[in-house]
Structure 1
Amino acid sequence: MNPFERLGLERRLAISGDELREAFRAAGKQEHPDAGGNGEGFTAVQEAFKLLSSPSRRLKAWMAAEGIEGNDRGAISPQLLDLFAKVGAALQKADGVTKKREGAQSVLAKALLEPEVQLAREDLEAALEDVAGAIEREEESFAQIEAGEGDPSLVSRNLAFLEKWQAELKARFAGLW
């Protein structure tokens, strides 16, 4: 399945969230069972939307459509290693606070942990902002990739790691409420 065709989009990497949602709505209206479509077609539209919503998976789909072979294995960019350290530290701090919170036997003990919980939330928020910024920077290279410059496999790997870190940070943040 070509997700770009499924949603009626031009095959390109720079797609805004609004443009993607509008394409999903339009394709969904045609494929939805209540509008004369079938369940399989609507499921394919949903899968295409999910795939293109992720910058790393969008890049992989674009590479496949362009006939560009990529390597999913390998190193990430060195500049992401510093970010990895920050993400790891924030996750460890959140896990430690969560463990203390779970072990607290009284309401008072839990209340006394609240300043530590707040600091962990702030670290997670800061790491999330840094990861979001790194994702934006990677997406800025999409124009070069479409022009045949740069290493799409490296950008794809970077984005996959960043998206994974983002999901982990969001999950830990939600667990601290």
Structure 2
Amino acid sequence: MDAFAELGLERSLTLDGESLKAAVTAAGKERHPDAGGTAEDFARLQQAKGLLERPVSRLKHWLELEKVPGDMRGTVSDDLMAVFSEMGVLLQQTDELLREREKVSSALAKAMLEGRVQECREKLEAMQDRLGEMVEVRVERFGSIEVGGTDGWEVARDLGFLAKWQGEVRDRFARLW
């Protein structure tokens, strides 16, 4: 399936969120089962939306459609490697704190941990901001990828790691509440 064609969009990585939303809304008015469409048509619409709304899946889909050689295995950017060890340490510290907090049962013991919990939340928030900035830097390269000036598969690999890390940070942050 070509998700861009499915939604009547030009095959472009620099697709903005508003254009995607408008295309999905317009197609949904025709394809939704309540509007006379079929369940299969609506499912394809939802699949196309899913492929295009996340930068990593949009890029991977575009690279495959354009038959750009490469895959999701391989090297990642140096700046991402630098964050790799920091992420590991932060997640290990958070997991240890979560285990420690699960073991305590008294309100006093929980209150005594609250300072460390808050500090950990702040570190997770800072990491989430940093990861978000790294995603944005890569999304800004999409125009260059379209014209062959940047290795799209390396950017896709980076975005894959960043999305995974963002999910892990969100999960740990939620568990701290």
TM bin (shorter chain): over 0.9
- Look up the match of 1:174: 174
Which ranges of structure 2 fall in alignment gaps of 5 or more residues? none
| Per-residue Cα deviation, 1:129-156 (whole angstroms, up to 9, x for no partner) | 1100111111111111111112111111
Amino acid in structure 1 at the alignment position of 2:80? L
Distance 1:115 1:17 in 2: 39
Q: Is the 8 A contact 1:32 1:42 kept in 2?
A: yes
Structure 2 residue 20 is matched with structure 1 residue 32: no
- Look up the match of 1:23: 23
Give the drift of 1:84: 1.7
Amino acid in structure 1 at the alignment position of 2:20? L
Query: TM-score by structure 1 length?
Result: 0.94
Report matched runs for 1:63-78 at 5 Å: 63-78=63-78
Structure 2 residue 17 is matched with structure 1 residue 10: no
SS of equivalent residue, structure 1 residue 113: helix
Give the drift of 1:124: 0.6
Which ranges of structure 1 fall in alignment gaps of 5 or more residues? none
Q: Which moved more, 1:15-24 or 1:158-167?
A: 15-24
Q: Is the 8 A contact 1:86 1:127 kept in 2?
A: no
Amino acid in structure 1 at the alignment position of 2:175? G
Query: TM-score by structure 2 length?
Result: 0.94
- Let me know the Cα RMSD of the aligned residues: 1.2
Q: Is the 8 A contact 1:2 1:65 kept in 2?
A: yes
Amino acid in structure 2 at the alignment position of 1:26? A
- Percent same amino acid at aligned positions? 45
How many pairs are equivalent?
A: 177
| Per-residue Cα deviation, 1:3-40 (whole angstroms, up to 9, x for no partner) | 11112211000122222222222222211100111111
- Look up the match of 2:123: 123
Give the drift of 1:87: 2.0
- Look up the match of 2:105: 105
Distance 1:162 1:59 in 2: 14
Amino acid in structure 1 at the alignment position of 2:48? A
